[in-house]
Chain A
């Protein structure tokens, strides 16, 4: 790979806390190497701000290798930036050229209030899992792991759904701020496995109810979520969720 350096203009959302109205601020960064990651470019900017005695920009990040789901920047109108199947921590500066202007905002959704600058509160996702995103098996209750064979295709499909990193890009990309892709990934993961069978119906009903309660919008199937999902979670999971929901609703015990 050829390496090069670039100067960039950044327009970044600054918001002191959840009450503050927030606004864009413009910054210049110089001599950015094409080998840096996008977050390393932000590190450079932040060190620059600290040297000038200004408040650095708060952003969430941890693993910096695309797996923890913590990083969350909305870059030039797209969650996680321009690359396909990618998180912002894995975006590298070779995606940009000298003189570019880049606009960076937080995830925007009613259910994800801003904490500061680019940091939002995604605890609604945890509460959706609490509503049923698990298999109820206490430690020590398990049978031998090979006692129940699972078809490879099913196991692979469950894994593909379980690969969701809970980043919330799907919500940020959706004009309705729907969390259906996230939710459907979990429902699919567990519905595809025999271990998930006993709680299959209550799980989907309770999780959908919690999602509605959290203030996420409804799904109008624009597929914007799939397009930005860093883990390639497919919208076929949403179709599966809808089916699961319907079946569960029809056969639900109405006491």
Chain B
């Protein structure tokens, strides 16, 4: 039985109750307790800094050369919080409700409510750290709206919100490093966890510069290693993002929650050719002002600006009048795929739709002319002023588009297509963020917790920082309070020796295959299987094929891989081989999970389960649970179910019409 440890009481009192009743560790004892934090993105950096401030002895690890470079840095659009500064009817309850509904009723109510509650503290904390959020002329904070909501609750810093938030958390972390409370290990990769007497007590890491393996003890270990979207090879994730940390933990007993729940983001720059190494997101905030369309005529080859207004199909506005271009991501992505599959796609690949700013430029231009008292402005004046406004709001995104495509988005509509972006799945955790291995926690994108089957925009940054700044500092105390008598365990303990040997054996094995194909080539092939058969639309037939194909690919990998270089040096090929090996095992589990979940919900679309007009059809009677998979050996998993109970947000078919 898995116990989610949800506190008693009414939903909006649970967190208060928990905080009032959890065990505490006194300051003198905190100094004796060691905590290991794997990953220093928003979740890890905020956790490491906050635990350091509390007085724990923290060791933090990341594989980049500096914690400031974690993938969180790339988040563009913003972070949600129920501040209701706009007085537009927002509240903690609404943020909670939007998140549950947006997640298509596959998230745990108690966790989501807590997230909405602490969201307001996050903004306060970040501003205090000097995060330069966008402001209005009166000096107060500015907000914008995001998909799946009807209020303006998103805080932002141009198109670089993740960067500014991470720099804030990074600075807090470096302050703790300077104070000696946190020891930082950059260019280190965690390759296994160590379990002693049923509790997680440390990790095995590889120093990526020297290739040496290291053992580190901790009374508790936090995995904050981010998402695994790169299992699809092409995604908006950074090149190094990977599943290894949580996969190793999974193989040592941590259940994996909802592995198949993947978010495909509707607005990304389309693939341009086989050389493509990653995909670039165009922030969802662009859907605030941009209009999405395709030609009404199939296979129309005219240039976009030559297609007259009445020959354009603004299909989101047509299908979903209430939310229009701001429907949630899964809905917008499927609608784009539907149009392209039906033959209305644009661009040379025909796998793209237009995101058009012409109307917004004119609208803003007219407002500006009004503000500046220009009567009878010329079309040119309107456009010039309108472009200035758009540049101020989205300038860096437009620049990015232009650099990649060589086209000017102020003049020609952007071409966009959905791409893999985020993984709602991750290690199963209880209310305290603890996995099924005692003493092992998962935070941020690495856990499965708050977003159900679909994450709303601007909610990942919120969750990462909620977990790190405001949740784990309480919940870890509840565990460590019983550990104050546990002295540091020597890393000569047989469990450490054994774990290191396993890691070392595997590395030797990878190096000794001496075949012909590179890690990169295997990764590409895995990605193609996943995208074709476990991507935006899935069916039983395809998923079964995918499972067989992945098993075959794995065999080929372990018999024909070539890793150049040696073990005891800086060797990115070896790092990559290690990661791809884990991705393959994960890919198989994702397909198994997608196959077993014979319903459509959120980002998981089973072709067998749809309404007459092609919308996703949930099956609450049979699938209102979290699928938590236990690893039982190669290609073998056992399913455990955490039933979901909705006491406040009663499930209904999602409608954005």
Give the interface of A toward B (CB within 8 A): 1, 16-17, 33, 35-37, 39-40, 43-44, 47, 49-51, 53-56, 58, 60-70, 83, 85-86, 90, 92, 94, 115-116, 119, 121-123, 125-126, 129-131, 133-146, 148-152, 155-156, 158-159, 162-163, 165-166, 189-190, 193, 195-196
Contact = CB atoms under 8 A, between A and B. Distances in A.
A68 B400 contact: no
A55 B520 CA distance: 14
A227 B171 CA distance: 27
Given A39-B277, A44-B275, A92-B404, A145 B83 contact: yes
B53 A193 contact: no
A174 B132 CA distance: 29
Contacts of A145: 83, 123-124, 126-127, 133, 141
B74 A65 contact: yes
B403 interface: yes
Nearest to B280: A65
A193 B130 contact: yes
A121 B65 contact: yes
B1 interface: no
B130 A35 contact: no
B245 interface: no
Interface stretch (B172-180, B446-454, B610-618): B172-180
Interface in B208-239: 209, 238-239
B406 A62 contact: no
Nearest to A32: B275
B564 A141 contact: no
A192 B121 CA distance: 23
Contacts of B520: 43, 47
Contacts of A50: 518, 562, 564, 573
A92 B70 CA distance: 24
B276 A40 contact: yes
A83 B400 CA distance: 13
A118 to B, nearest CB: 11
A35 B66 contact: no
A234 to B, nearest CB: 16
A22 B126 CA distance: 44
Contact of A123 (B65, B138, B170, B175): B65
Interface stretch (B160-168, B372-380, B601-609, B649-657): B160-168
A162 to B, nearest CB: 5
A140 B68 CA distance: 22
B132 A70 contact: no
Given A49-B564, A159-B164, 10 more contacts: A17-B570, A35-B275, A39-B277, A63-B73, A65-B281, A67-B163, A126-B184, A139-B473, A150-B139, A166-B69
A248 B188 CA distance: 38
17 contacts: A40-B276, A43-B520, A44-B275, A63-B239, A65-B278, A67-B163, A90-B400, A116-B569, A126-B66, A126-B177, A129-B174, A133-B171, A142-B128, A155-B139, A158-B130, A163-B163, A193-B132
B405 interface: yes
B521 A47 contact: yes
A115 B127 contact: no
B175 A63 contact: no
Nearest to A143: B124
A69 B140 contact: no
B49 interface: yes
Contacts of B276: 40
A149 B64 contact: no
B564 A159 contact: no
Interface string B238-281: 11100000000000000000000000000000001101111011
A47 B130 CA distance: 44
B288 interface: no
B175 A62 contact: no
Contacts of B238: 62-64, 68
A92 B68 contact: no
B132 A159 contact: yes
A122 B74 contact: no
Q: What 8 A-B pairs are tightest by C-beta distance, nearest first?
A: A149-B139, A134-B171, A142-B128, A142-B124, A1-B406, A159-B132, A130-B178, A145-B127
Contact of A86 (B70, B160, B277, B403): B403
Contacts of A190: 130
B157 interface: yes
B403 A92 contact: yes
Interface string B96-134: 000000000000000000000000010111111110111
A19 B209 CA distance: 13
B137 A62 contact: no
B298 interface: no
B71 A62 contact: yes
B33 interface: no
Interface string B548-560: 0000000000000
A54 B404 CA distance: 31
B186 interface: yes
A119 B187 CA distance: 12
Contact of A162 (B70, B132, B275): B132
Of A35, A62, A156, A196, the most chain B CB neighbours within 10 A belong to A62
B582 interface: no
B269 to A, nearest CB: 10
Contacts of B473: 139
B69 A68 contact: yes
Contacts of A126: 66-68, 174, 177, 184, 186
Contact of A69 (B69, B184, B209, B275): B69
Contact of B136 (A54, A138, A152): A152
B470 interface: yes
B9 interface: no
B138 A162 contact: no
Contact of A116 (B123, B516, B570): B570
Contact of A135 (B64, B130, B469): B130
Given A33-B273, A62-B64, A92-B404, A142 B74 contact: no
Given A121-B65, A142-B127, A130 B71 contact: no
A43 B407 CA distance: 24
B273 to A, nearest CB: 6
B565 interface: yes
Contacts of A68: 64, 69-71, 73-74, 238
Interface in B389-408: 399-400, 403-407
B175 A134 contact: yes
A208 to B, nearest CB: 16
